A and B are shown apart, each in its own frame.
Chain A
Amino acid sequence: MKKEILSSTILTALCIIFFSGLYPLILTGIAELAPGKGEGILQVVQGKKYYVNIAQKFTDDKYFWPRPSVVDYNAAGSAGSNKGPSNTDYLALVQLRIDTFSARNPDIAKQDIPSELVTSSGSGLDPDISPQAALAQASRVAKSRNISIEEVKDLIKQQTEKPLLGLLGPEKINVLKLNIELDNLN
């Protein structure tokens, strides 16, 4: 038994060096070759650095809004609401979001509000919305920027990311990239 404990302890130590020391070391080496050098995908605009994959908070009428976030877009944490589908407080919150969205986007009929704009995402940091969710905001954005709605719709079309290989998964739009392009229009 004593010998077994000793052998197991030494083997454990060697495995720690191998799997927790060497394996990540190789990967940090590989990361040097990747875009962003292992710090995530970054976009620099006028000297300011943004994380493309992390939703930013947008509340202004002139910007497209991302999905509601439980963590207020603070990526020091991440969480969903974990509200059950029949929870009455939760359903009241969804109703409130629908009413708020309708009030600030008066041109949009209720049935045209995509559900992802009134439900919170799993991480609270979802960087994307669907093309429909962008189109639902087009009129508001165009009005507040004094540009034509066609111009905004063209931009949405141009920023729509196709499914993987054109075949797999949903279409989506990165809200941050869309807003950066929007600022470039003016």
Chain B
Amino acid sequence: MMNTELLSVVVMFVGTLLLAVPLGKYIAKVYAGEKLLGDKVFNPIEKLFFKISRIDATKEMTWKQHLKTLLTINLIWFLWAMFCLTNQGWLPLNPDNIASQSPDLAFNTAISFLVNCNLQHYSGETGASYFTQIYALMFLQFVSAGSGMAAAAVVFNALKERTTDKLGNFYNYFLKSCTRILLPLCLLMATIQIFEGSPMTYKGMDTITTIQGDKQHVSRGPVAGFVAIKHLGTNGGGFYGANSAHPLENPSYLTNMVQMIAQVLIPFAMVFAMGYYLRRKKLAWMIWGVMTVGFLALVIPTINAEIAGNPLIAKMGITQSHGSMEGKETRFGAMASAYWSIATTVISTGSVNSMHDSAMPLSSMNMMLGMMINSFYGGVGVGFLNFYIYLILAVFIGGLMVGRTPEFLGKKVEAKEMKIAMIVALLHPFLILVGTAIASHLAAHNTVMGWWWMGAGGRPMRASMWLNNSGYHGFSEMLYEYTSSSANNGSGFEGLGDNNPFWNITTGIVLILSRFLPIIGPVAIAGLLASKKHIPESAGTLKPDTATFGLLILAVKVIIAALAFFPAMALGPIAEWLSMK
């Protein structure tokens, strides 16, 4: 029984790698502007798009122009999503008569889909019309992934061994990421979903009578297309409230494997794409190796904890031969659920096929660590950007250790780049810990929240009422929410009562800062380095594609995460774990 589960986990991991290497080669070709398989279909479409939009896609941009373009188009997407969310009540494609979202919820939803997070303080069945799901949310799932990948492409371009300030065209990178990489894969994956039983219809909710004679409602919708881009773009926002635990969103073991592979595929492939693009395959394998060591260090203990079951239920005399099953689905089993819970948190998908709030304490610690480090693979595009920050830090520390000016790929890393890297690296713990500190303070003092949280009929709510669990686990619920926001992950300890102005607004602000600063930082560093003089390699150059350097990066990550987050972990999951002994 467990053997078939273990085998499937191995198949998922190896399968992803086998697909990611050729895909990486293909992605490198896309960004290098080489001839591609789909040129006959897509070239005319892209040309038409650029012509109507009056864009010269051959005009190369500086890093500043790239960022300006990225931020401008993101602002337009945000306004479009806000319009859809606050007006969905009267807009078309709303067979279930879903009301418009309140301004604070719409703000949180629009931001979180814009930044590729998909935090979802609403449930799909009751909070979003089909129009919103497809024309606002799914649209953002495509373009937010596309713009993250475009930012990574700019950094790839800047890492080439030459001196320039011209780094390709943003619109070109962005559109091709969507049309050439995301769309074909989505069509394939959505077709598998449809044939395995995911709905793809605009007919509203169905009502049937069960065998025992009860009335049963069944939410339907254009699910299959949504689920495909949700994973391939590492967005993670579910069509339904229960996300990929829902039997229509993830109907079978096959779809579970496809979704699992799909969400890790492009984060893997982007690393190899860099290797092909820069002709530094060894560097790519080194980076992938560091990421994989980190991933395995988190996933193995998590699988162990989940298949062992809950010790407090064992005390009741129940044999848990299938592992801990609270919040899990029978068709996936404990092992594939545990594997998923770590994969979805080390990359920034945040889709779930089991409820993380009910996971064992050490599993939830590993999930949070995955998001705190946020670059053991990481999200599409941005995972590589996060890794790049750690890489620059490691180059600097390595340079100090050998007593030379730090260099990376023939470019001197100096004070300005280091300052940017440090700001980006420290922003993440700052947002998580400050947010959690404020929320815990309010909960501990049971503050009356006033405007920040009104119950039905204007009843003022108290802060501790947003917790679904008390004690250490309650603290973990708040810590997880800010960690997930700052990592742009989107999974949650969903017991937390987070649909109120306090959580909608504070996490919304965290989302904006934690998306755009970690894009601006690496692009700026790469742009600054690209314009510097190229220094040929010498005997004293720190070689970045060695295992030694890989270890150095891993050490930098572990030290930053351990120093920043250990105290908070000790108060949450570690304390809960000790209390269950």
Interface residues of A (CB under 8 A from B): 1, 3-12, 14-16, 18-20, 23-24, 26-28, 30-31, 34-41, 45, 48-60, 63, 67, 73-87, 90-91, 94-95, 98, 110-116, 118-130, 132-133, 163-164, 167-172, 176, 179-180, 183
A123-B247 CB under 8 A given contacts A60-B212, A83-B357, A87-B473: yes
The answer to whether A8 touches B76, judged by C-beta atoms less than 8 angstroms apart, is: yes
The answer to whether A11 touches B49, judged by C-beta atoms less than 8 angstroms apart, is: yes
Closest residue of chain A to B354 (Cβ to Cβ) is A122
How distant is the Cα of A60 from the Cα of B198 in the complex, in angstroms? 30
A77-B126 CB under 8 A given contacts A122-B245, A170-B5: yes
The 8 A-B residue pairs with the shortest CB-CB distance, nearest first, are A82-B495, A122-B245, A84-B473, A80-B355, A78-B242, A76-B217, A168-B8, A123-B242
Residues in chain A near residue B469, CB distance under 8 A: 82-84, 87
> Any chain A CB within 8 A of the CB of B58?
no
**In the complex, chain B residues 402-455 whose Cβ is within 8 Å of any chain A Cβ:** none
**In the complex, chain B residues 223-251 whose Cβ is within 8 Å of any chain A Cβ:** 224-225, 240-242, 245-248, 251
Q: Which of A3, A23, A51, A95 contacts B183 (CB 8 A)?
A: A23
**In the complex, chain B residues 191-209 whose Cβ is within 8 Å of any chain A Cβ:** 191, 194-195, 197-203, 205-206, 208-209
The answer to whether A86 touches B216, judged by C-beta atoms less than 8 angstroms apart, is: no
A31-B224 CB under 8 A given contacts A82-B355, A169-B333: yes
Closest chain-B Cβ to A135's Cβ sits at a distance in Å of: 13
Q: Which of B7, B126, B183, B222 contacts A167 (CB 8 A)?
A: B7
How distant is the Cα of A112 from the Cα of B323 in the complex, in angstroms? 14
**Chain B: how many interface residues by the 8 Å CB criterion?**
121
How distant is the Cα of A4 from the Cα of B69 in the complex, in angstroms? 7
The answer to whether A24 touches B222, judged by C-beta atoms less than 8 angstroms apart, is: yes
The answer to whether B358 touches A77, judged by C-beta atoms less than 8 angstroms apart, is: no
Residues in chain B near residue A164, CB distance under 8 A: 8, 252-254, 257
> Any chain A CB within 8 A of the CB of B481?
no
The answer to whether A120 touches B212, judged by C-beta atoms less than 8 angstroms apart, is: no
A121-B1 CB under 8 A given contacts A95-B316, A115-B322, A116-B325: no
How distant is the Cα of A94 from the Cα of B315 in the complex, in angstroms? 12
> Any chain A CB within 8 A of the CB of B135?
yes
Closest residue of chain B to A58 (Cβ to Cβ) is B212
Residues in chain B near residue A169, CB distance under 8 A: 4-5, 8, 253, 256, 331-333, 336
Q: List 26 A-B contacts (CB under 8 A).
A: A5-B72, A7-B54, A8-B76, A12-B143, A27-B194, A31-B200, A38-B194, A38-B200, A40-B218, A74-B216, A78-B245, A81-B358, A82-B355, A84-B476, A84-B576, A86-B576, A87-B469, A95-B316, A111-B319, A122-B354, A123-B246, A125-B242, A126-B331, A169-B332, A170-B4, A170-B331
The answer to whether A129 touches B216, judged by C-beta atoms less than 8 angstroms apart, is: no
How distant is the Cα of A86 from the Cα of B202 in the complex, in angstroms? 42
> Any chain A CB within 8 A of the CB of B539?
no
How distant is the Cα of A28 from the Cα of B247 in the complex, in angstroms? 20
Residues in chain A near residue B252, CB distance under 8 A: 164
How distant is the Cα of A30 from the Cα of B201 in the complex, in angstroms? 11
Interface residues of B (CB under 8 A from A): 1, 4-5, 7-8, 11, 45, 49-50, 52-55, 68-69, 72-73, 76-77, 80, 123, 125-126, 134-135, 138-139, 142-143, 171, 175, 178-179, 183, 186-187, 190-191, 194-195, 197-203, 205-206, 208-212, 214, 216-220, 222, 224-225, 240-242, 245-248, 251-254, 256-257, 309-310, 312-313, 316-333, 336, 352-355, 357-361, 468-473, 476, 493-495, 576, 579-580
A11-B73 CB under 8 A given contacts A77-B241, A121-B328, A122-B329: yes
The answer to whether B211 touches A180, judged by C-beta atoms less than 8 angstroms apart, is: yes
The answer to whether B580 touches A16, judged by C-beta atoms less than 8 angstroms apart, is: no
Closest chain-B Cβ to A54's Cβ sits at a distance in Å of: 6
Residues in chain B near residue A38, CB distance under 8 A: 194, 199-201, 224
The answer to whether A41 touches B318, judged by C-beta atoms less than 8 angstroms apart, is: no
The answer to whether B208 touches A51, judged by C-beta atoms less than 8 angstroms apart, is: yes
Residues in chain A near residue B69, CB distance under 8 A: 4, 8
Closest residue of chain B to A51 (Cβ to Cβ) is B218
The answer to whether B209 touches A48, judged by C-beta atoms less than 8 angstroms apart, is: yes
Residues in chain B near residue A54, CB distance under 8 A: 216, 218, 247-248
The answer to whether B318 touches A82, judged by C-beta atoms less than 8 angstroms apart, is: no
The answer to whether B125 touches A76, judged by C-beta atoms less than 8 angstroms apart, is: yes
